[in-house]
Structure 1
Amino acid sequence: MKILVIDDDPSVRKFITTTLKKENYAVTEAENGAEGLIKLQQEKDISIIITDLIMPEKEGIETIMEVRKINPAVKILAISGGGKAGPENFLLLADVVGANATLKKPFGGQELLMCLRMLA
């Protein structure tokens, strides 16, 4: 199972990637939605995408909508700290546009793994 992690914050990306690799997941990374969509099309074995919602270039909601067009079967976990509006609004919107699960930042490694087990 390969997981694509899309987040513009290098420290968040590193935390998620490290947590997943310790559990023997194959992980590939992207720093924004535009880069994430390119990787999704290049690497055909991606089965789960973990995406932040607030990012430069292409934000998460738009990314989720495009992923659904490219590969409706891929599972999506949306994550957000929410910015000024608060994460609940963004996470609710992520659900509406096609995320399979949502997780509010900050979260711990166990929370992340539990969410992934529910998706798998």
Structure 2
Amino acid sequence: MRILVVDDDPLAGEMTGALLEFQGHDVLLANDAMEATHELDSHDDIALIVSDMYMPLINGIELLHMLREQGVMLPFILLTGDTPDDALRQTPGLSACLQKDAALDTSLERAVAQALGA
């Protein structure tokens, strides 16, 4: 599966991408919402989006809403450095909201499998 990872922190994006590649996925990286929309326009085989929450200009939730308005209905997993509250976890259209912590490798693997219906 090809997964788009959106994170304004290149190191964090590469680390998330490495976790996903280790799990057998093909990963594309984008540094912001504009790059994400470009990658989505350029690659029709993207199956899932994993986005950081806190990015300048357009945050992860705003990116989700923007994509939904454009008709992009791909599964969307949000990552945050904070402990996500119930309101954030229950955002309509969000497949999962995960904290970037020591257990991210297993929680991300589970969330990806669930989002992709595996």
Q: TM-score, normalised by structure 2?
A: 0.85
Name the residue aligned to 1:95: 90
The CA distance in 2 between the partners of 1:92 and 1:70, in whole Å, is 24
Q: Flag structure 2 segments of 5+ consecutive residues without an equivalent.
A: none
Q: 1:111 aligns with which of 107, 110, 114?
A: 107
Shift of 1:17: 0.9
1:25-104 superposed matches below 5 A: 25-82=25-82, 87-89=83-85, 92-93=87-88, 95-104=90-99
Check whether the contact 1:50–1:79 (CA below 8 A) recurs between aligned residues.
Answer: yes
Determine the structure 2 residue equivalent to 1:6.
6
Q: How many Å apart are 1:10 and its aligned residue? A: 1.7
How much does 1:19 deviate? 1.3
Deviations 1:13-51 (A, max 9, x none): 111111111222111010112211221122111110000
2:16 is the alignment partner of 1:16: yes
SS at 1:88's partner residue? Answer: coil
The answer (yes or no) to whether the contact 1:78–1:99 under 8 Å persists in 2 is yes
Higher helix share: 1
CA RMSD of aligned residues (A): 1.8
Are the aligned partners of 2:98 and 2:104 in contact in 1 as well (CA < 8 Å)? Answer: no
Task: Supply the AA of the counterpart residue of 1:101.
Answer: A
Q: Which one-letter code corresponds to 2:88 in the other structure?
A: L
Q: Residue 108 of structure 1: CA displacement?
A: 2.6
1:57-83 alpha-carbon deviations (Å, 9 max, x no partner): 32111100011123443000011113x
| Distance (Å, rounded) in 1 between the aligned partners of 2:92 and 2:35 | 20
Count matched residues.
115
